[in-house]
Structure 1
């Protein structure tokens, strides 16, 4: 009897180690997913530092809604320098001084109750190229994470070049080349100081403002932008993107 029990004990299969808890497995796969997303966006940021980005999500949506859009890429050398200065003066005067976020503008926006925009050109490029429109917390968090990467890998000139090519200037009109032709019948390289300031003045509300039939507000903003573009050319705040 004792021999039989001993033999049975020897034949008994060893117990398997318990499986890892479900929580640990989920955490493992969640981490892998996060790393995959980070790697994907890091690859895109690096890729678009050399190659021009394709149509973004919003442009595709507008193309479907409208049937077509006006969009043509203009390299940096094909854009009038005054256009770049005008956009910086209008949208982000401290563009050359910050690392992606203008903390002074953010503090001022908070003090004014959030009614004033504080997004830099770098943030707008990040949103327009890599993300989607809207005010969700997820998009804002991704924008906050991606903007420093764009600033680190792209030059200031590249950021501004991409911005000028993806910004919307009228319903279905994207990029400064299409805008110059749409409003003034000229190439982006031939824009005058007045025309460049007028285009910058309709941002960030191109569907509510017009560069060809400007309201009193747009005319006043245009004069301010012309002055601002001259100022940043003199005080050095355009040095990071001009020769």
Structure 2
């Protein structure tokens, strides 16, 4: 092989090896300090022309009822899986095979991987990267850290990210003062926050919130961080 060809192969190999190393480093970094913004926030801002309202709230300053409700709504087996809820994935595929729309199956950990480190999309490349980042955050972050990140980066309305901005925007309150009903309304809109409004809920959102409020009462301490670790 000619010297130029060997150099190109070495550069390609270095690039392949650098990607996993860079991924580990950025996961470690955001495990220590909150990210100022995420890719999703930046892309939404560019696409929709809205600002980014995303103040950070430490885990202990978020009402316990909000934590319980979002786990009940988004990932009931959050404490018992290691990033992937295979039972939920199987149920989602069963719905697809029966002719219904594919929904559900993504854990809170997967949603954090997608929202913090990646761009919106449904390509196999992005799904593969999502799986890789899910493994990394489960390996290097605590369950409490994952849930804290989720509650601080999830989108609740265009330009409104995280529980502090959502609590103020929809209910003129702070994350530590959210009531059970307010927490349920916020959790109820998470599947479609760009269309549904927690502060002005329609009939479906109001009904779903009532269901989630009841479901949250059954969430046991063992189902919440620190998850017995």
TM-score (norm 1): 0.86
Structure 2: any 5+ residue segments left out of the alignment?
none
CA distance in 1, matches of 2:182, 2:51: 25
The structure-2 alpha-carbon separation of the partners of 1:21 and 1:108, relative to structure 1 and needing over 3 Å to count, comes to: farther
Residues 1:62 and 2:62 aligned together? no
Paired residue for 2:218, among 209, 228, 231?
Answer: 231
CA distance in 2, matches of 1:25, 1:110: 46
* 1:19 CA displacement: 3.3
* 1:63 CA displacement: 2.8
Aligned to 1:172: 159
CA distance in 1, matches of 2:20, 2:219: 36
Structure 1: any 5+ residue segments left out of the alignment?
1-17
Residues 1:104 and 2:87 aligned together? yes
CA contact (8 A) 2:50 2:158 kept: no
Residues 1:78 and 2:57 aligned together? no
CA contact (8 A) 1:66 1:172 kept: no
Aligned to 1:154: 141
Say what the alpha-carbon RMSD is for the aligned residues: 2.0
Aligned to 1:34: 16
TM-score (norm 2): 0.91
CA distance in 2, matches of 1:27, 1:109: 42
CA distance in 2, matches of 1:82, 1:221: 16
The structure-2 alpha-carbon separation of the partners of 1:171 and 1:21, relative to structure 1 and needing over 3 Å to count, comes to: closer
Question: Larger Rg: 1 or 2?
Answer: 1
